[in-house]
Chains A and B, each alone.
Chain A
Amino acid sequence: MTYLHSIGEYFLMLKGVFGRMTKTSVLRNLILKEINDLIMGSMGIVAFLSFFIGAVVAIQTALNLNNPLIPKTLVAYAARQSVILEFSPTFISIIMAGKVGSYITSSIGSMRVTEQIDALEVMGINSKNYLIFPKIIAMLTYPFVIAISMFLGMSGAYTAAVLGGFVTSDQFITGLQEDFTPFHLTYAFIKTFMFAFILATVPAYHGYYMKGGALEVGEAATTSFVWTSVVLIVTNYIVTQLLLS
């Protein structure tokens, strides 16, 4: 029953988010601030992780290709498929659930604890729209982060595979272009958009409806990370089943 109540509350929150809108000039500034906090602030860690994940995937693939009949181009092919289909959209989103999700939950949760949300409500402001809508809009730019992550992942794979002496540059480029299915990119970006919405709203729900004090803000951030990850993984499964099966 608790889960059903929470799911219902989440959808009611979403209804409120898209309810009465905040003044446009105020909203514009809030969206720009959220893009800076949520997206730009995450670029460093995303770039770092993507590059090294790509590199590790390339090395692991190369080290496991013992059969001389298997072409060396498979290193780049496997790295490309892994990075585009799962590592960039899903793995990076799980990392973002920890970084951005915890930030969203704790910032909204602190506002709840210190009566800042009550202050907004008393002034007649739709607090759900004011606090959550700009985060959803800011997260619409998340696919750009994933695009950069894909590029850096492949750069990492190239660097590790070629500089490590596993394949030549030509073999890598050939493998990179081998059997390329453009729909895989479409699939990756469709799920990235869905992940962006989840990353903005599930942590916001945990922050907005939290009760208690500073200690509970920390607990809410942890719970938020767990549930955001669960929803991401389940959504990933459903989308993959629907689009790729």
Chain B
Amino acid sequence: MIEVKDLYKGFEGQEVLKGIDYVFERGKTNLIIGQSGSGKSVFLKCMLGLFKPDRGTIAYDGKPFSSFSDEEQRELRKEIGMLFQGGALFDSMNVEENVMFPLRMFTKQRRKEMLSRVHEVLERVNLEGTGKKMPSEISGGMQKRVAIARAIVNKPKYLFCDEPNSGLDPKTATVIDNLIQDLTHENDITTVLITHDMNSVLEIGERIAFLKDGVLAWKGTKHEIFKTKDEAVTDFVYSSDLFQKVRDAQQQGQ
């Protein structure tokens, strides 16, 4: 569980995050949605410790991140898996080496044990037999799955995903969404996922935080988001023609 209290962050006098309070629950896919420039990425980077908040606290399982010693921060980072927007796979390593990387850095396992775990997670993301390929030799969707495999290989307690579906076709995007949700449930991970893809909201939005201009404007579930009368949320949700048509069809059906 990650608890965020009264979080403020600004750059050069301009406030980006303005007093965010939110709890990311364990074993659930927690989505952060909002328009571009609403502060989602800054929020994520604050949680990852890449940005230092101006005010407020971020607590991992009850312990504020700011109170962690350097050693404790390093230990915490070993329990974090991160899926970057572009995958961020290491170009100089093949798929197997990419996935093995966290194990090589943080464990004292023998190579045979590491390889066994790598093959296990590659199988879990349906990428058996691709271990020797270089990232440039596989598709964007496969790269995302390799990145997921790398993020979960060390059995993290927290999984952060920055727009995992960007640049993917709808079918592959659904596969990635479902994979993230399944892994969250199987391993009881606290998953935090940034997206502005409404299909993802429909698929895996177990808990949703809607950011608008750096403020937490709404929170709820995927079932609640389509019923809310909150103008800011409805503006965002129904900005797509498809969702407008779904809503109109539902209203006509009623």
Contacts and interface: CB of A to CB of B under 8 A. Distances in A.
Interface string B32-58: 000000000000000010100000000
A122 interface: yes
A116 interface: yes
Contact of B88 (A23, A119, A124, A125): A119
Contacts of A114: 86, 88, 91
13 contacts: A26-B104, A33-B92, A110-B91, A114-B88, A115-B85, A115-B88, A119-B82, A122-B48, A122-B50, A122-B77, A122-B80, A123-B80, A124-B77
A123 B102 contact: yes
Secondary structure dominating the interface of A: helix
B6 to A, nearest CB: 24
A118 interface: yes
A123 B48 CA distance: 10
A121 interface: yes
Nearest to B150: A119
Given A115-B85, A115-B88, 20 more contacts: A23-B104, A25-B104, A26-B104, A33-B92, A111-B90, A111-B91, A114-B86, A114-B88, A118-B50, A119-B84, A119-B88, A121-B50, A122-B80, A123-B78, A123-B80, A123-B82, A123-B102, A124-B74, A124-B76, A125-B105
Contacts of B84: 115, 118-119
B73 interface: yes
B43 to A, nearest CB: 15
A110 B88 CA distance: 11
A62 B160 CA distance: 70
Interface string A92-117: 00000000000000000011001110
A33 B90 CA distance: 15
Contact of A115 (B77, B80, B86): B86
Interface string B137-170: 0000000000000000000000010000000000
Q: Which 3 A-B pairs have the closest CB atoms?
A: A124-B77, A115-B88, A119-B88
In the complex, which range does the number of interface residues on chain B fall in?
A: 20 to 34
A110 B136 CA distance: 14
Interface of B: 48, 50, 73-74, 76-78, 80, 82, 84-86, 88-92, 101-102, 104-106, 160
A79 B91 CA distance: 44
A122 B47 CA distance: 11
B104 A124 contact: no
A68 B11 CA distance: 75
A17 to B, nearest CB: 17
Contacts of A33: 92
Nearest to B78: A124
Interface string A4-46: 0000000000000000001101100000010000000000000
Contacts of A125: 105
A114 B147 CA distance: 13
Contacts of B80: 122-123
Contacts of B77: 122-124
Interface in A115-143: 115-116, 118-119, 121-125
Contacts of B48: 122
A34 to B, nearest CB: 11
Contacts of B101: 123
Interface in A193-210: none
A23 B105 contact: yes
A123 B74 CA distance: 8
